[in-house]
Amino acid sequence: MKRNWQPEELVECWTLLPSELALLAHKNPQNRLIFALLLKFFELEARFPESEHEIPSVVVNYITQQLKISPSIYHECNWQGRSIIYYRKKIREFFGFREASKKDALQLTDWLTEQALIYELKYEQLKSAAISRLRELKIEPPTQSRLERIVRSALSSFESNFFQRTVAQLSNKTKEQIDNLFKPQKIEEQSLEVVSQLDIDEEALSVWNELKLDPGRIGVGSFQKEIEKLLILRQLDLPPDLFTNISAKILQQYKQRVVVEYPKDLRRHPEPIRYTLVAIFALLRSQEIVDNLVELIIQIVHRIGTKAEKRIDQELLKDFKKVNGKTNLLFQMAEASLQQPDGVIKDVIFPVVSETTLKNLVKEYKSTGNVYRERVYTVMRSSYGRHYRRILPLILQQLEFRSNNEVHRPVIQALLLLKKYALSNQRYYDSTENVPIEGVLRSGWQELILEKNSDGDIKVNRINYELSVLQALREKLRCKEIWVVGAYRYRNPEEDLPKDFESQRTEYFQALKLPDDVEEFITDLQQKMQSALSQLESGLPKNKYVKIKNQGKSKICVSPLKPQSEPINLCRLKTEINRRWPKTSLLDVLKETDLRVNFTEHFQSVLTREVLDSKLLQKRLLLCLYGLGTNTGLKRLSDEIGGSSYQELLHVKRAYIHKQQLCNAITNIANAIFGTRLKHIWGEGTAACATEF
């Protein structure tokens, strides 16, 4: 129960009604007080307090005021006598409740086991659900320790059933392949067509450790290594519907548990647990690898273009000289040519326009327009054809691209055409092939890609076309117009919607505060953009700190504001803080923050059991966060501070500190800062948070 109660809350929740006052008749002051407190406490919590310390003092004072007795009587009350048992019985009868039996505990355990998926296996949420369930059935909850055992028993029952159901769906071959992941071995050949294109290391590897590694730097080598991992995971041949009824959040919890455990610990698990955990890891890891492959495709195609542009820009920058007065020069050349139409260029043109000026004109023309695009495309084609083209067969064989929009079908058809010719040595596509052009090739680039033979027939160069298809694929993948089978981040966009979206469409749009009519949404968005642009247009010319440039990539130049002078009170405040705490370390600041905010409560172990004392765990968590945040390192921190060994800190880091938990802790600290700062000075904004030490 909360400790702080506002006056209006006390009146609403702790006021004794006439029917309740009638139950207090014929009792001495101490028993009246005990009965009244138990009665109102049970009405609010549907349970009795486990000790007298659980009732806040402000509540005791409010009840004594109603009973017109002294608050000091509360300390003289006997909370262990037979009267307490009798009072509890009467209160249960008054509210229509009964005590929980062993049968009720078993039924509650079975009910919680069924509800475990709904509450995503979270202990606190399941505990709250159990209390609500008992209140609905008008059953007094058992003690906190007993209720904790029931909830944990339900979680254990769910996991046991889940592991048994999963392992029953796995074939003997899949189990054998899972066992092989933990053995030092050479990577086996999966497919001759694919493996022939990979540079497989023949030395013995620990396959399990390789699977957990992140992709390296952008390049062909990283792409090939990710393909190797994907082939190993697909070799497990997991059933496609193995975890269809389990949410992604629950699967992520189990995956995190697998990641932090050492291989020797995984091998010690019973078979149902080991096979299920590895199957979950394999499923989610394969999705991550597919996402990594898509990211590498996007980054590699982008790199091909940017490196080509950078190279051509550097070459042109050395030779570029802008020629002014080109119209006047053209007039002079035309006039000289008409005067001496049969003359020699060296004798007629050069005296009017020098040879150097004409060379500069040629260089200027080559640095703009189609000539520039041709040079960039030539470099891109060379880079792709000589190096990056090796990954194209791997992309087409291992990734399956789809689209839900018929507008983007040409790119899908182009990918099918590329897959058909993946192993061919032809330079051009057959004239009988239907090569998609519209929606694949960029506007203005067709003349660079399409070639004509002596008969005037159009020929499509395969290398040129492949590069254009990859560029179109990159653009569609980034906006999810094309999605990838087996991916998570680049999955089918329709899977991003809740399963009940169609039936609850209106409620979801109301929660988002958006209209469910697309035209209304677009019209409102256009009006906001027009209003903002009108405001920008009217205010920009009058703003002396903003300038519009004609050159460079950034057309709008904003002048930096002049720094304001530091307030005198701020200087005095810093001086006083330095006087009181001259050498306060960051570790002390971190510790003090946790004592005030208790952000370490968000770091929960991903393992099934933990026996660390809460105080000791808090200390090790703070040391780990300090060591990671300051780049001191856990090993050096354990040597300098002492009290916790490197292995102990490493265990806490692996089992407790993860991305989502860090986000929750940071959110807690940010909210605490927003709650303490003065709103009339800093305003109501919650989009940014900064502190200065």
Give the per-residue pLDDT at 289: 93
Give the per-residue pLDDT at 693: 36
- The dihedrals phi and psi of 98, each to the nearest 5 degrees, come to -140, 165
Calculate helix-pair angle for 102-115, 123-136, nearest 10 degrees.
Answer: 130
Residue 461 in this model has a pLDDT that exceeds 70: yes
Structure tokens at 381: 């084609």
Q: Taking residues 658-675, what's their average pLDDT?
A: 87
Q: What is the mean pLDDT of the chain?
A: 82
Q: Tell me how far CA of residue 231 lies from CA of 52, 197, 224, 641, in angstroms.
A: 63, 13, 11, 46
**Separation of alpha carbons 80 and 86, rounded Å:** 11
Query: CB 436: neighbour CB atoms within 10 A?
Result: 19
Residue 24 in this model has a pLDDT that exceeds 70: yes
Query: CB 364: neighbour CB atoms within 10 A?
Result: 16
pLDDT-based confidence at 456, cuts 50/70/90?
Answer: low
**Separation of alpha carbons 53 and 542, rounded Å:** 67
**Separation of alpha carbons 485 and 357, rounded Å:** 58
Give the per-residue pLDDT at 241: 87
Q: Residues 463, 389: contact at Cβ < 8 Å?
A: yes
Structure tokens at 34: 């005990």
Name, of 59-68, 156-165, 376-385, 677-686, the range with top average pLDDT.
156-165
Question: Of 33-47, 366-380, 404-418, 525-539, which gets the smallest average pLDDT?
Answer: 366-380
pLDDT-based confidence at 655, cuts 50/70/90?
Answer: confident
Structure tokens at 52: 């007298």
Q: Residues 469, 418: contact at Cβ < 8 Å?
A: yes
- The dihedrals phi and psi of 48, each to the nearest 5 degrees, come to -100, 150
Give the per-residue pLDDT at 692: 42
Q: Tell me how far CA of residue 26 lies from CA of 20, 23, 35, 76, 257, in angstroms.
A: 13, 9, 12, 19, 60
- β-pair type (139-140, 98-99): parallel
Q: Which residues, at least 6 apart from 590, have a Cβ–Cβ distance to it below 8 Å?
A: 622, 625, 626
Q: Residues 665, 603: contact at Cβ < 8 Å?
A: yes
Give the per-residue pLDDT at 281: 93
Q: What are the domain boundaries of the chain?
A: 7-96, 102-168, 172-297, 326-366, 400-496, 505-557, 585-682
Q: Taking residues 292-317, what's their average pLDDT?
A: 82
Annotate 482-517 with three-state secondary structure.
CEECCCCCCCCHHHHCCCCCCCCHHHHHHHHCCCCC
pLDDT-based confidence at 195, cuts 50/70/90?
Answer: very low
Q: Residues 417, 443: contact at Cβ < 8 Å?
A: no
pLDDT-based confidence at 113, cuts 50/70/90?
Answer: very high
Give the per-residue pLDDT at 348: 63
Query: CB 476: neighbour CB atoms within 10 A?
Result: 18
> Which helix or strand (DSSP H or E) is residue 275 part of?
helix 271-319
Q: Tell me how far CA of residue 214 lies from CA of 188, 199, 285, 288, 478, in angstroms.
A: 21, 18, 10, 10, 21
Give the per-residue pLDDT at 684: 66
pLDDT-based confidence at 316, cuts 50/70/90?
Answer: low
Closest CA to 621 of 639, 601, 635: 601
Closest CA to 649 of 665, 632, 635, 663: 635
Look at the alpha carbons of 192, 193, 194, 199 in this order and tell me if their dihedral is positive or negative.
positive
**Separation of alpha carbons 486 and 284, rounded Å:** 10
Structure tokens at 280: 């979950």
Look at the alpha carbons of 19, 20, 23, 24 in this order and tell me if their dihedral is positive or negative.
negative
- The dihedrals phi and psi of 419, each to the nearest 5 degrees, come to -65, -35
> Which helix or strand (DSSP H or E) is residue 450 part of?
strand 450-452
Instruction: Tell me the β-bridge partners of 458.
Output: 452
pLDDT in tens, 550-585: 776 677 888 887 888 888 888 888 888 888 887 778
Q: Taking residues 479-488, what's their average pLDDT?
A: 91
Q: Residues 189, 209: contact at Cβ < 8 Å?
A: no
Q: Taking residues 264-268, what's their average pLDDT?
A: 85
- β-pair type (483-484, 458-460): unpaired
Residue 429 in this model has a pLDDT that exceeds 70: yes
Give the per-residue pLDDT at 542: 82
> Which helix or strand (DSSP H or E) is residue 451 part of?
strand 450-452
Higher local confidence (pLDDT), 484 or 329: 484
Higher local confidence (pLDDT), 422 or 336: 422
Instruction: Tell me the β-bridge partners of 402.
Output: 483
Query: CB 327: neighbour CB atoms within 10 A?
Result: 7
Q: What percent of the chain has pLDDT over 90?
A: 17
Q: Residues 357, 387: contact at Cβ < 8 Å?
A: no
Q: Residues 462, 423: contact at Cβ < 8 Å?
A: no
Give the per-residue pLDDT at 691: 46
Question: Of 122-126, 467-471, 532-536, 611-615, which gets the smallest average pLDDT?
Answer: 611-615
- The dihedrals phi and psi of 41, each to the nearest 5 degrees, come to -65, -45
Q: Taking residues 404-408, what's their average pLDDT?
A: 81
Look at the alpha carbons of 229, 231, 237, 239 in this order and tell me if their dihedral is positive or negative.
positive
Tell me the residue ranges of DSSP E strands in 507-621.
Answer: 546-548, 556-558
Q: Residues 192, 232: contact at Cβ < 8 Å?
A: no
Closest CA to 390 of 423, 434, 341, 362: 423
**Separation of alpha carbons 528 and 530, rounded Å:** 5
**Separation of alpha carbons 629 and 651, rounded Å:** 17
The residue assigned the tokens 């005030």 is 596
Calculate helix-pair angle for 271-319, 144-168, nearest 10 degrees.
Answer: 80
pLDDT-based confidence at 172, cuts 50/70/90?
Answer: very high
Give the per-residue pLDDT at 275: 92
pLDDT in tens, 388-398: 888 888 888 99
Give the per-residue pLDDT at 29: 81
**Separation of alpha carbons 485 and 402, rounded Å:** 7
Residue 164 in this model has a pLDDT that exceeds 90: yes
**Separation of alpha carbons 58 and 643, rounded Å:** 41
Residue 187 in this model has a pLDDT that exceeds 50: no
